[in-house]
Chains A and B, each alone.
Chain A
């Protein structure tokens, strides 16, 4: 059974159709990249899967391990194992990264019927994870994303992902606003999380990110539909030739 199955998904925002019939299956252990120009529905797709309000699903299904995702609230989806790494991580003044992470981790552990981690266990865990990601431990003492550089924000997203160990990780334009060094660090973090029971949906504009996070499958999204699918070589082709032919074909 596919880990994530998207069947004929249609979604609109304020009455305007954005997704017009997306069908996609992610097997466990695979990395799928969704590429496409701006305004074709890439972010809409990630928001609809994660359950953000303001999107109307007019047709189709999204199943995680066979369960109907669309019937769940955003937090239920998260606890079921869907993780969205945000394009623009949100600042929460006064809430330390550490407090945020611990609350999130324990919400998930409760849902799984596990005992919550206490302060000591938590700090030990975070220490290990930050070290593994080559991140400064002191970062967790700062207010979440407040005053973080672009690179720090994305690294914090990867740290969250590492702690929450999702079934499905969606990376929404994770490469935007990153210089090459930060891109490498973030990619290494993501690669270290690749696992046989986990799938990734990497949404990106540029092929550059896919040099570091090498996908198993590449899909081109144009005008709310998947216009083409292929292996990693498709990304290279797109980089050389651009999206024009898919946009024309789909239109």
Chain B
């Protein structure tokens, strides 16, 4: 496996978190803190129509009633967040309305190049269209024209608000309402950018769509919002990646992702989350509180979530599926790696409402150092979900003896014809396995990377080809120094 070797090489060559640099670029920022004025400021910066501002304000006013109602049920420990200590808008200063990628600030192009995401189309990954979000704004979207010809809308969210208000109005908040939970409500009030995707009826989108999120400014939160609509009989595969500079203070990331799959449509959503995890002593790192939910609204529709979570000091994230349409399918594949002092509480919810709905959950948690890794999941089968089926498999791998793995599965079944299965294992990388690999000439790092990649294989295989290799490398790098 070439990836394991490259991992070891990467570990030797670079410091553990190689995306920790800061781009020196002048920013346009909102004043510190959060109040109605800030929300009007954000809305004005984006030149939003009145209805959008009203929606934000409605969310903000609701959020004010939620004081001290941050969800406390997750197995996560962190100091109370001061929501007045962040900037809620930061954008690189640049003349607006770019007509082509050539006009993007070279510093930004350089940043994305360093991150391995070339934005100039001649250098770009073949068959992958990229939307690059830098702090609060989208700075570039590639292959826009080609996609347009097919009827695909792939645009920064703020642009979609202007150009496709009917679609945004119809679907925004229809899967994750503004009142859903503390962080989703905050996001609804202050969200800045993100991607908007619409796939027209019957189209199998010929390229992967991808958004690359980058937090750059100090003391800013990133609150992006992504909305993907797959119209009847369409298919789309979408991938997001995330990185942030290495800083001593914690930064907040509270995103919302909504997916809507209509009759016979399929959405495949993959995430490689590599926000800065903090240092070995747990200083700094991103607080990642994300609400992701997909609605299989139409019959025979399918939503598949794949996530590789290696970054962030704290991960609080449960990409879920609401299986409304008869025969609809929800799948969740997850690899969550925590090392040092990282904490992850992640899993999914599969809500079966329609008949013959099926869901599958494969979760692989890897914990090393002093980290805690929790799988939390809910399988709910409604009264009308005749013959619904769920299969859940949760495997935890421990490296060393100071980390924790926890599994908290809930099953609520209200239909006697439904069938649910749950399997769980917890294991350790054994001395025998390590010695066996080393006796065949592999270094300790190579051996750990190989064993962990094997453990995650079922999940990594579901990633689009272009990103599977990247993810394999990341798995090795994020566990560097975890053994011996």
Contacts and interface: CB of A to CB of B under 8 A. Distances in A.
Interface stretch (B114-122, B144-152, B158-166, B430-438): B430-438
Contacts of A102: 1-2
Interface string A76-101: 01110001101001101111100110
Interface stretch (B127-135, B314-322, B450-458): B450-458
A107 to B, nearest CB: 4
Interface stretch (B61-69, B192-200, B264-272, B439-447): B439-447
B4 to A, nearest CB: 5
Nearest to A101: B440
A94 B431 contact: no
B46 interface: no
Contacts of A99: 1, 450, 454
Interface in A50-88: 50-53, 73-75, 77-79, 83-84, 86
Contacts of B2: 102, 106, 116, 118-119
Nearest to B440: A104
Nearest to B431: A53
B350 to A, nearest CB: 24
Nearest to B429: A92
Interface of B: 1-2, 4-5, 430-433, 435-444, 446, 450-451, 453-458
A45 to B, nearest CB: 15
Given A100-B450, A102-B1, A94 B456 contact: yes
Nearest to B427: A93
B1 A164 contact: no
B453 A107 contact: no
Interface string A107-147: 11011000010110000000000000000000000010000
Top 5 closest A-B pairs, CB basis? Answer: A94-B454, A95-B454, A104-B440, A90-B436, A78-B441
6 contacts: A90-B433, A93-B455, A94-B453, A103-B4, A103-B440, A104-B441
Nearest to B435: A52
Contacts of A86: 436, 439
Contacts of B5: 103, 106-107, 110, 116
A73 to B, nearest CB: 7
B441 A95 contact: no
B454 A107 contact: no
A160 interface: yes
A75 B450 contact: no
A164 B454 contact: no
Given A74-B438, A78-B440, A104-B442, A92 B1 contact: no
Nearest to B452: A94
Chain B CB count within 10 A is highest, among A50, A51, A107, for A107
A107 B1 CA distance: 11
A84 B435 CA distance: 11
Contacts of B455: 93-94
B440 A143 contact: no
B443 A53 contact: no
A92 B440 CA distance: 13
A100 B456 contact: no
A92 B429 CA distance: 9
Chain B CB count within 10 A is highest, among A99, A102, A111, for A99
Contacts of B430: 90
B454 A93 contact: yes
Contact of B435 (A53, A104, A160): A53
A108 B457 contact: no
A84 B433 contact: no
Given A90-B433, A92-B437, A100-B437, 7 more contacts: A75-B438, A77-B439, A78-B440, A92-B450, A106-B5, A107-B442, A107-B443
Contacts of A83: 439
Contacts of A50: 439
A160 B440 contact: yes
Contacts of B431: 53
B1 A111 contact: no
B426 to A, nearest CB: 13
Contacts of B444: 75
A163 to B, nearest CB: 10
B458 A103 contact: no
A108 B432 contact: no
A164 B441 contact: yes
B450 A103 contact: yes
Given A90-B433, A92-B436, A103-B4, A79 B441 contact: yes
Contacts of B458: 94
A73 B438 contact: yes
A90 B2 CA distance: 22
B442 A75 contact: yes
A164 B444 CA distance: 19
Interface in A190-245: none
B435 A89 contact: no
A89 B458 CA distance: 23
A131 to B, nearest CB: 22
A118 B4 CA distance: 13
Contacts of A53: 431, 435
Contacts of A116: 2, 5
A99 B2 CA distance: 9
B49 to A, nearest CB: 51
A75 B447 CA distance: 10
Given A94-B455, A94-B457, A107 B436 contact: no
Nearest to A111: B441
A78 B446 contact: no
A75 B454 contact: no
Contacts of B451: 92, 95
